[in-house]
A and B are shown apart, each in its own frame.
Chain A
Amino acid sequence: MLKFFNCDLHIHTCLSPCAELDMHPLALVEKSIQAQLDLIAVCDHNASANVKYALAAAKDRIKIIPGMEITTVEEVHLLGLFPTLEALEKMQLLIDDHLYGQNDEDRFGVQAIVNEIGEVEGLSDKLLIGATDLSIDRIVDHIHHLEGLAIPAHIDRESFSILSQLGFIDETARFDALEISKHKGIPKARLDYPELHRYPLLTSSDAHFLRDIGTAATRFLLSEPTFAELRMALQNFGGRRVQED
Chain B
Amino acid sequence: MKVKTIAENLGLKVVCGSNALDRDVTGGYTGDLLSDVMANSKEGTIWITRQVHQNIVAVASLKEHAAIILINDSQPTQETLEKAETESVPILVSNLPAFELSGKVFNLLSCR
Contacts and interface: CB of A to CB of B under 8 A. Distances in A.
Given A135-B77, A137-B77, A164-B35, A170 B54 contact: yes
A5 to B, nearest CB: 34
Contacts of A164: 33-36
Given A74-B53, A136-B53, A137-B77, A168 B33 contact: no
A78 to B, nearest CB: 13
Contact of A170 (B33, B52, B55): B55
A166 B77 contact: no
Q: Is the interface of A mostly helix, strand, loop or mixed?
A: loop
B49 to A, nearest CB: 11
A165 B77 contact: no
Given A166-B53, A170-B58, A137 B79 contact: yes
A170 B61 CA distance: 14
Contacts of B37: 167
Contacts of A135: 52-53, 77
B18 interface: no
Query: Number of contact residues on A: which range applies?
Result: 10 to 19
A165 to B, nearest CB: 6
Contacts of A49: none
B59 interface: yes
Interface in B13-70: 32-38, 51-55, 58-59
A163 interface: yes
Contacts of A74: 51, 53
A168 B53 contact: no
Given A135-B53, A136-B53, A167 B79 contact: no
Contacts of B36: 164
A165 B33 contact: yes
